[in-house]
Amino acid sequence: MPIPAPVLYPPFNIVRLSHVEYRVTDLARSRAFYVDTLGLQVTDEAPGVLYLRAMEERGHHCIILREAAEAKVGVLGFKLFDEADLDRAEAFFAAKGLPVEWVERPFQGRTLMTRDPWGIPLEFYVKMDRLAPIHQQYRLYNGVKPLRIDHFNMFSADVDASVAFYGEMGFRVTEYTEDAETGRIWAAWMHRKGGVHDVAFTNGRGPRLHHCAFWVPTPLNIIDLLDLMATTGWVSNIERGPGRHGISNAFFLYIRDPDGHRIEIYCSDYQTVDPDLEPIRWDLKDPQRQTLWGAPAPKSWFEEGSLFDGTDLAEPVLKAQPIVAP
């Protein structure tokens, strides 16, 4: 199917992705991973919950870790441009018969809770508590030195449909993988903030969260993290990489938190601000699509993901198979 034309004047204005809530089964163990190992900064904590931000972020949090009996994803958060956009977003989702609810969230202003057509829990806000800048407090830089949250990647049972819906909200496709036999989209990368993506969709049993990514200063920071994880009891949590993606040209590493939630460490993609930028097409069987150097991803990378709270799973419409490592 062809990539839909970009919607340059969407019904409401999403600035960027903002935050994710992970349900974790052992908050102390998760803190050891995200804070002591990766280097995210604690901004607030209460019994059963921890709020974190990265080094360049002024908003109060980009990750919420909430202790729960079962590891899941509670919500994906997005920042809108102004208060009127919140009302326009409510009207957009309500007109499609999707749930809308105004909810109270600590450290956030008025917040709209909804779900996409496949059940992914989404929330939109305009104002989040602002914190003092710490990007020049170099004594705080630890672990992989995470600078900011970069993107979400979701498993989708129908990537064409996901691209069409998120395109209506103003997300623009930068790169995509096409199955040559069917002409269907196997994966797509879509942005709001001018990088390669804020959201991406990968063909698979879904909806599930494939990964959340953090931007770091250089590939050397990724090497430092690998050395740290290999010598502090986290070597088995290294899943894939380091390497360079063909898609996005980014240098990457995939790791798993104590509950199996996948985190990508990411740098070196490119600017996509121009509204008339043409998407880049990749063939599903191109080995350099996954990794520019040719190494295929492991089977776990295509099959395992984090469940969203309150969603039902569907099998993928497209049955095409990418190249998988033996």
Q: Quote the tokens at residue 147.
A: 């600078």
* Domain 144-307 class in CATH: alpha beta
pLDDT at position 1 is 66
Equal fold, 14-130 vs 144-307: yes
C-alpha distance from residue 27 to each of 51, 69, 102, 141, 299 (Å): 11, 11, 28, 22, 28
Q: Are 15 and 127 in contact (CB under 8 A)?
A: no
Comparing C-alpha atoms, which of 285, 101, 80, 82 is closest to residue 170? Answer: 80
Q: Quote the tokens at residue 277.
A: 């930028």
Would you give the DSSP letter of residue 298?
Answer: P
Residue range 14-130 in CATH 3.10.180.10:
yes
Domain spans in the chain, listed from the N-terminal domain onward = 14-130, 144-307
Compute mean pLDDT per 10 residues along the chain, 326 residues long, and list them: 91 98 98 98 98 98 98 98 98 98 98 98 98 97 98 98 98 97 96 97 98 98 98 98 95 98 96 95 93 92 97 96 84
pLDDT at position 69 is 98
DSSP assignment string, 69-120: SS--EEEEEEEESSHHHHHHHHHHHHHTT--EEEE--TTBSSEEEEE-TT--
- Side-chain-side CA neighbours of 52 within 13 Å: the count stands at 27
pLDDT at position 326 is 72
Distance CA 142, CA 203 (A): 35
Q: Has this prediction a pTM greater than 0.95?
A: yes
pLDDT at position 150 is 98
Q: How far is CA 134 from the centre of its chain?
A: 23
